[in-house]
Structure 1
């Protein structure tokens, strides 16, 4: 298991705005040895937490926790989250506290048990939150731990060990902030275990469970080439008060769903949106979405929107893409809800190319990995879920053997439009609307930029940091929105970490 480091920091330095924004920096965080930022664990007006893996020469990474709070900039806790009871699976934030999730194997009764306890106190009581029985030691089943959107509840999903030809089943266990069980529900579905996958999961404030799932089936020999795989996406909603499981099949008739995501709007309804293709091959031809009423669990609105020729003409497409009117290698990233109820969903073109050569002197084959993070597609909908516009954001990032850590982007709705942050080639500031921008292929020489998409889809690009501030490099994929106008970001350079609070203003 990967053990993790949690750091909760205060901001200690505020920098004047360049583009209608206030930047607040943390002090440098230096962790000995090799360390890697994982994700923001929690964040609000009182502070935030971040998960970092600290690697050792031997054994699993250690979990070190540093806690700070606003506004005194005072350290409140510093500790190592040690576990002698079992394996540290993850950390969760429930009721304003950080808990360690620990898995214990009990071979005497063929059972894997899940426990939680305060991460900062190894002697605090263990609370059991799940157990899975198994027959074979190499197939023990899996747990999934999901915090509700307000961090007031913890859902533990128990999935039993895989069995060939067995239908999919799992158990929901919902716990409150003291880890008293609120309810339990066993779910059995008419899908083969081996072909069913939970893609995304959410728990709302009331403890209702939302699962985005995929079922990989084979098309019949009569209709399509034998063995051609098609993914069918389904939304499963369990409402505890109604004791009701509702299933929505995202069926687009003769089209193929190639990317999907879900989010709650301000009314608490579930919005599901994504991209589709006209064939089962890689690519996207348009967008779709549906809105599910939070009370009736009925579909309030549904729409299918093909890309127009005008929109597609703005992309540098190859011959195959032009002939088939589609875009390849785009992946759904974010479903963002603005304060006025409007919504954005975004996708980024991403792929990895690999080259290799064999060294005859050493007998070793060497590999080079090229990480491509290119254009972004932005779709805007109004508060009634009508699509207003679809826009291409030109971007090109190609880096080598770095896992793409400094590529990608962050995004936040603002002023009827969208703010998009990424590392760019400085020469692209001269022409932000270039159809073919210059590639950012050296993060050390890149510049962090803010690209502003206006309410009508117009584009402006400016620097995020001024020249004197560019002493650290943005990792834009690590982000957390903590308010309508506030974004938490992470930067790194030479093993020194800095966190950034970014507040947009008029």
Structure 2
């Protein structure tokens, strides 16, 4: 068992969740869930396997219709354990890896920061549904500084903000194809995931693209008021300028409308 996270429910119960591996293997076998009731000293435990069949079902829950290859679960970094007022829980992980890339006589190491995996659990720890936010980011450092995402936990939705390539959200995009983001044709994208059923929608932050901004997710955060505090940079003739900006996701979606990008 590794990547264990802790949380407290609104009912005052202590939660711990993480992923476990089979013996003599590097890959994850599933997730484990522990719930402690302080007053009665009752400990509830639950484990659930995650196999390829169940994992691939999550690949069909987004508007791209993208059929990605099997990503080893061991490469997912367990980032967040969130709770709801009803005692449900969300496990959120992101695929992170490095690989050697050869191009002619040149060789280098690329950072691969790919899909975001979301698991929703019942108050008893059972898997309700599994979804993923499709993301295909690969480039060497320092371009990979613009990879990853910022998470905001809203009342009814989970919001993921990250840099993507404009071509993934163009009306001319090919159905079933997800294009690589390598730092070019950048557009900041807001992914809205419904907490009830995992429905996913995307919204472009076109005003930031027009101004030439790159979001730096690893330096950005969220505020208690339910808004993003974004750290972003802008390049002008080789000179970098850094800015901070507050973004309300619900207000932005109400402006652009609920039409899918």
Question: Under a length normalisation based on structure 1, what TM-score does the superposition of the two structures give?
Answer: 0.41
Q: Corresponding residue for 2:120?
A: 380
Which one of 292, 299, 302 corresponds to residue 36 of structure 2?
292
| Closer, same or farther: CA 421–380 of 1 in aligned 2, 3 Å | same
SS of the residue corresponding to residue 46 of structure 2 reads strand
Shift of residue 272 of structure 1?
1.4
Q: Corresponding residue for 1:263?
A: 7
Instruction: Give the alignment's Cα RMSD to 1 decimal.
Output: 3.2
- Cα distance in 2 for partners of 1:398, 1:389 equals 28
Question: Larger relative contact order (C-alpha < 8 A, sep ≥ 6)?
Answer: 2
Q: Corresponding residue for 1:281?
A: 25
Q: Corresponding residue for 1:437?
A: 178
- Cα distance in 2 for partners of 1:484, 1:382 equals 27
Q: Corresponding residue for 1:305?
A: 48
| Closer, same or farther: CA 447–317 of 1 in aligned 2, 3 Å | same
| Closer, same or farther: CA 352–258 of 1 in aligned 2, 3 Å | same
Which one of 448, 455, 461 corresponds to residue 188 of structure 2?
448
Q: Is the 8 A contact 1:351 1:372 kept in 2?
A: yes
Q: Is the 8 A contact 2:186 2:209 kept in 1?
A: no
SS of the residue corresponding to residue 404 of structure 1 reads helix
Between Structure 1 and Structure 2, which shows a larger proportion of strand residues? 1
| Closer, same or farther: CA 402–282 of 1 in aligned 2, 3 Å | farther
| Closer, same or farther: CA 310–504 of 1 in aligned 2, 3 Å | same
Q: Is the 8 A contact 1:336 1:412 kept in 2?
A: no
Q: Aligned residues, how many?
A: 235
- Cα distance in 2 for partners of 1:493, 1:405 equals 14
Which one of 59, 76, 89 corresponds to residue 343 of structure 1?
89
- Cα distance in 2 for partners of 1:311, 1:348 equals 14
SS of the residue corresponding to residue 477 of structure 1 reads helix
List gaps (5 residues or longer) in structure 2.
60-66, 255-261
Q: Corresponding residue for 1:408?
A: 148
Q: Corresponding residue for 1:331?
A: 77
Q: Corresponding residue for 2:258?
A: none
List gaps (5 residues or longer) in structure 1.
1-256, 360-365
Q: Corresponding residue for 2:257?
A: none
- Cα distance in 2 for partners of 1:346, 1:435 equals 24
| Closer, same or farther: CA 354–311 of 1 in aligned 2, 3 Å | closer
Q: Does 1:487 align with 2:258?
A: no
| Closer, same or farther: CA 398–356 of 1 in aligned 2, 3 Å | closer
Shift of residue 271 of structure 1?
2.0
Shift of residue 329 of structure 1?
1.3
User: What does 1:107-506 align with in structure 2 at a 5 Å threshold?
Assistant: 257-294=1-38, 298=41, 300-307=43-50, 309-312=53-56, 314=59, 316-317=68-69, 327-338=73-84, 341-354=87-100, 368-382=108-122, 385-402=125-142, 404-430=144-170, 436-442=177-183, 444-454=184-194, 455-466=196-207, 469-483=210-224, 485-494=226-235, 495-505=240-250
Between Structure 1 and Structure 2, which shows a larger proportion of helix residues? 2
- Cα distance in 1 for partners of 2:36, 2:140 equals 42
Shift of residue 412 of structure 1?
1.8
Offset from partner CA, 1:410-442 (integer Å, 9 cap, x none): 112224331111111111114899665111012
Offset from partner CA, 1:320-357 (integer Å, 9 cap, x none): x7xxxx63411111223346654322111111123589
Question: Under a length normalisation based on structure 2, what TM-score does the superposition of the two structures give?
Answer: 0.75
Shift of residue 409 of structure 1?
0.9
Offset from partner CA, 1:136-182 (integer Å, 9 cap, x none): xxxxxxxxxxxxxxxxxxxxxxxxxxxxxxxxxxxxxxxxxxxxxxx
SS of the residue corresponding to residue 197 of structure 2 reads coil
Offset from partner CA, 1:266-299 (integer Å, 9 cap, x none): 3443321122233443322322221233566x45
- Cα distance in 1 for partners of 2:34, 2:175 equals 34
- Cα distance in 2 for partners of 1:269, 1:484 equals 25
